[in-house]
Chain A
Amino acid sequence: MDFSLTPEHEMVVRMVRDFAEKEVAPYIKEYDRAHKPFVRAIERMAELGIMGICIPVRYGGQGMDYISLGLACEELERVDTFLRVVMSVHVGLNSLGLLQWGTEEQKQRFLVPQARGERWAAFGLTEPGAGSDVAAMAATARREGDSYILNGEKMWISLASMAHNFLVFARTDPKAPPHQGITAFIVERETKGITTGDIHGKLGVRAGSTGWIAMNDVEVPAENRLGEEGEGFKIAMSCLDNGRYTIGAGATGLIRACLEASAKYAHERRTFGRPIAEHQLVQQMIARMRRDYEIGRLLYLRAGWLKNQGIRNTWQTSLAKWFATEASFAAASDAIQIHGAYGYSDEYDVERFLRNAKGACIYEGTSQIHELIQAQYVLGYRQDRPLRCELPAYDPEEWQREA
């Protein structure tokens, strides 16, 4: 067993950190306060290749491994959650879904521009009436000749109003149970019948973009269907294995942000004649943050390692996501406590950390869903079955081959 990062990983970490610290950290408060999407930051992530970090070079990506993806997410969310959300939907939920399930032709057409950051990607699973309960999905896709006609609405979709490509799920067989009747489609924004909009008044991730997609008789050519008809549920679940991985890694970065801010402030602030760092109850909160950061990191790195090996990691990823998101919320809350009244104001970052932490306890499986998943695996109510297409194991040579 080897717990050390490779020199490559270390350089990736430094590069992503430098970007986030130089180009995002100085301005994030301004965007967050104004509820203004920080578009320039996303464009820069695209230019720098971060949005194609773990996609093979021949598909327009940078050819790094899945661990690099996790490390990048940790660094990004350490500065602000919205950066990591972009990675979750663009890379985790969408691009890796194409890498896993797409035909060669689909990869060339859709994955290449996405990995290059030329076209941004979103993931359309959740609906106004269907979140964790996928069976309640109302969107439909009707086969008509060489096309499908899509109708319905998707809600709480990150990058809804900005993405160019959507991976959308709809029922092709309304009578079949969800794990058989749902199909996945790659839908381009330019398609007739697509409208999108933003959701306002969010608690957190205010520099990001979250919205809805409405599909009104949207005609999608059959070659845009990802996987087989009726395979959508499995595809969605496998995409979540990757999305949740980025969230777990990101939330770990958020814990680190809380830890760093708290340690710094604890040295600066004095009460009762000494720095609050010397008060034991403050030390306790800091110790817990350190503990949770280390656990979160070990959990997501293990999930990343499993992905690199090509081993299914559904429960390990779920555990990483569940643990780190809940722990990040607790860390942010304690960070505010350590900052006292100042932490309650937006002069400091920690109140933003708390607002940003909450969302990830809800999306891509609420904490409650993840608790159930963990129990069900232990109790034998749930087990992994081989998929028709597995996420490919990381093979450096294969990933870095030019064509």
Chain B
Amino acid sequence: MHIVVCTKQTPDSAAKLTVDAAGNVSWGDSPIVINPWDEYAVEEALLIKERLGGNARVTVISMGPEAALEALKHAIAMGADEGIRIWDPIFEGSDTLATSYVLAKAIEKMGDVDLVLFGKSAIDSQTGQIPVEVAYRLGFSPLTYVIKIAELDPAGKTIIAERLLEQGRQVVKAPLPAVVGTIKGINEPRYPSFMGIRKATRAQYPVWSATDIGADPAKVGAAGSGVRWTRIFSPPTREGKAEIIQAETVEETVRILVDKLMAEKVI
């Protein structure tokens, strides 16, 4: 069984972000890390591989410039078998429409993929659209918001997944190959092992260009995108500090609070 995990690099979630007038985002000296949501996808791939008695191969891919190596390295250190970076300068400026095209072309090139795993979304651009778009492009079963893979039958080529929707868990049976978008709660991602760290720092990470994956230049980058980002800015800051309510007694304090909330018409 060949499992592909798509990952992305993001600034650390605790990073303090600033944005300049030109809309360039910077995160100080915070490190670039694997997108935290993707760790669940990598872990799930490794769990599946372990369940199949090692009878599976886990390939991690990431579309991005040099910094994308961080995501690949982390996944290899966790235990993935190989990492491939998908990059070409003409990919610059891709929205999800174009990105999903590139990823789908790369997966197509591999030819033998049974399962493609994703994290829920990337914590930076936070669209969450890529998994379903890649599934749609490849014609793979689209399974997003998966909190549990209840059954995976490589021989019968089926998967049963539980998807967490607003009202509860939907159980879906679908044929393989499938795209699975994982969410937190599906597992507890492991840390990289020391042996994995050594492997990750010594591994070769091939780079596949647009030509390598047979991508049509008209469908990638800004040319292949539907959405254009026009401005990035900080949200308006909330006005100063809270009005602290403090009266003689607890009862009096909450009475004042309720008065204020009623005046605000929120209760």
Residue positions of A touching B, CB distance < 8 A: 6-8, 11-12, 14-15, 18-19, 48-49, 53, 62-64, 68, 400
What distance in Å separates the Cβ of A75 from its nearest Cβ neighbour in chain B? Answer: 12
* A15–B192 touching, CB < 8 Å: yes
Residues of chain B contacted by A64 (CB below 8 angstroms): 194
Across the interface, name the chain B residue whose C-beta is closest to A6: B201
Distance in angstroms between the alpha carbons of A156 and B77 in the assembled complex: 39
* A11–B31 touching, CB < 8 Å: no
Partner of B198, one of A14, A48, A400: A400
Across the interface, name the chain A residue whose C-beta is closest to B33: A14
Q: Does B242 contact A (CB under 8 A)?
A: no
Q: Does B120 contact A (CB under 8 A)?
A: no
Across the interface, name the chain B residue whose C-beta is closest to A270: B241
Between A8, A15, A62, the greatest number of chain B beta carbons within 10 A of the residue's beta carbon is seen for A15
- Chain B 194-208, CB-CB to A under 8 Å as 1, else 0, gives 110110110000000
* B73–A11 touching, CB < 8 Å: yes
A and B contact pairs by CB, cutoff 8 A, 13 listed: A7-B201, A8-B197, A8-B201, A11-B197, A11-B200, A12-B194, A15-B197, A19-B191, A62-B193, A62-B195, A63-B195, A63-B198, A64-B194
- Interface size band for B: 10 to 19
* B191–A63 touching, CB < 8 Å: no
Residues of chain A contacted by B201 (CB below 8 angstroms): 6-8, 11
What distance in Å separates the Cβ of A82 from its nearest Cβ neighbour in chain B? Answer: 20
Distance in angstroms between the alpha carbons of A15 and B198 in the assembled complex: 13
Across the interface, name the chain B residue whose C-beta is closest to A12: B197
* A8–B198 touching, CB < 8 Å: yes
What distance in Å separates the Cβ of A13 from its nearest Cβ neighbour in chain B? Answer: 10
Q: A6-B201, A63-B198 are in contact. Are A11 and B193 (CB under 8 A)?
A: no
Distance in angstroms between the alpha carbons of A14 and B32 in the assembled complex: 11
Residues of chain B contacted by A12 (CB below 8 angstroms): 194, 197
Residues of chain B contacted by A68 (CB below 8 angstroms): 194
Residues of chain A contacted by B195 (CB below 8 angstroms): 62-63
Closest 5 pairs between A and B when the two form their complex, measured CB to CB: A62-B194, A11-B197, A7-B201, A8-B201, A15-B191
Q: A63-B198, A400-B198 are in contact. Are A14 and B193 (CB under 8 A)?
A: no
What distance in Å separates the Cβ of B43 from its nearest Cβ neighbour in chain A? Answer: 13
Q: A11-B73, A11-B77, A14-B31 are in contact. Are A48 and B191 (CB under 8 A)?
A: yes
Residues 47 to 93 of chain B near chain A (Cβ within 8 Å): 73-74, 77
What distance in Å separates the Cβ of A105 from its nearest Cβ neighbour in chain B? Answer: 26
Across the interface, name the chain B residue whose C-beta is closest to A396: B198
Across the interface, name the chain A residue whose C-beta is closest to B74: A11
Distance in angstroms between the alpha carbons of A18 and B192 in the assembled complex: 10
* B192–A11 touching, CB < 8 Å: yes
Distance in angstroms between the alpha carbons of A15 and B31 in the assembled complex: 13
Across the interface, name the chain B residue whose C-beta is closest to A54: B194
Residues of chain A contacted by B194 (CB below 8 angstroms): 12, 15, 49, 53, 62-64, 68
Between B31, B191, B198, the greatest number of chain A beta carbons within 10 A of the residue's beta carbon is seen for B191
Residues of chain B contacted by A400 (CB below 8 angstroms): 198
Residues of chain A contacted by B33 (CB below 8 angstroms): 14
- Chain B 1-43, CB-CB to A under 8 Å as 1, else 0, gives 0000000000000000000000000000001010000000000
Residues of chain B contacted by A62 (CB below 8 angstroms): 193-195
Residues of chain A contacted by B198 (CB below 8 angstroms): 8, 63, 400
Residues of chain A contacted by B73 (CB below 8 angstroms): 7, 11
What distance in Å separates the Cβ of A270 from its nearest Cβ neighbour in chain B? Answer: 9
Other A-B contacts than A11-B77, A18-B191, 16 sampled, CB-CB below 8 A, are A6-B201, A7-B73, A7-B201, A8-B198, A11-B73, A11-B192, A11-B200, A11-B201, A12-B194, A14-B31, A15-B77, A15-B194, A49-B193, A62-B194, A62-B195, A63-B195
Across the interface, name the chain B residue whose C-beta is closest to A62: B194
Residues of chain A contacted by B191 (CB below 8 angstroms): 15, 18-19, 48
Residues of chain A contacted by B197 (CB below 8 angstroms): 8, 11-12, 15
Between B77, B192, B195, B197, the greatest number of chain A beta carbons within 10 A of the residue's beta carbon is seen for B197
Distance in angstroms between the alpha carbons of A68 and B192 in the assembled complex: 14
Residues of chain A contacted by B192 (CB below 8 angstroms): 11, 14-15
Residues of chain B contacted by A8 (CB below 8 angstroms): 197-198, 201
Distance in angstroms between the alpha carbons of A86 and B56 in the assembled complex: 38
Across the interface, name the chain B residue whose C-beta is closest to A57: B195
Residues 200 to 244 of chain B near chain A (Cβ within 8 Å): 200-201
What distance in Å separates the Cβ of A50 from its nearest Cβ neighbour in chain B? Answer: 8
Residues 164 to 205 of chain B near chain A (Cβ within 8 Å): 191-195, 197-198, 200-201
Residues of chain B contacted by A48 (CB below 8 angstroms): 191, 193
Distance in angstroms between the alpha carbons of A108 and B150 in the assembled complex: 43
Distance in angstroms between the alpha carbons of A400 and B198 in the assembled complex: 10
Residues of chain B contacted by A19 (CB below 8 angstroms): 191
What distance in Å separates the Cβ of A294 from its nearest Cβ neighbour in chain B? Answer: 14
Distance in angstroms between the alpha carbons of A64 and B199 in the assembled complex: 12
Residues of chain B contacted by A18 (CB below 8 angstroms): 191
Across the interface, name the chain A residue whose C-beta is closest to B31: A14
Distance in angstroms between the alpha carbons of A68 and B194 in the assembled complex: 10
Across the interface, name the chain B residue whose C-beta is closest to A52: B194
What distance in Å separates the Cβ of B52 from its nearest Cβ neighbour in chain A? Answer: 23
What distance in Å separates the Cβ of A262 from its nearest Cβ neighbour in chain B? Answer: 16
Distance in angstroms between the alpha carbons of A63 and B74 in the assembled complex: 19
What distance in Å separates the Cβ of A216 from its nearest Cβ neighbour in chain B? Answer: 40
Distance in angstroms between the alpha carbons of A64 and B195 in the assembled complex: 9
What distance in Å separates the Cβ of B38 from its nearest Cβ neighbour in chain A? Answer: 15
What distance in Å separates the Cβ of A47 from its nearest Cβ neighbour in chain B? Answer: 10
Between A7, A53, A64, the greatest number of chain B beta carbons within 10 A of the residue's beta carbon is seen for A7
Distance in angstroms between the alpha carbons of A8 and B200 in the assembled complex: 8
Across the interface, name the chain B residue whose C-beta is closest to A44: B191
What distance in Å separates the Cβ of A45 from its nearest Cβ neighbour in chain B? Answer: 11
Distance in angstroms between the alpha carbons of A48 and B197 in the assembled complex: 12
- Chain B 113-153, CB-CB to A under 8 Å as 1, else 0, gives 00000000000000000000000000000000000000000
What distance in Å separates the Cβ of A127 from its nearest Cβ neighbour in chain B? Answer: 36
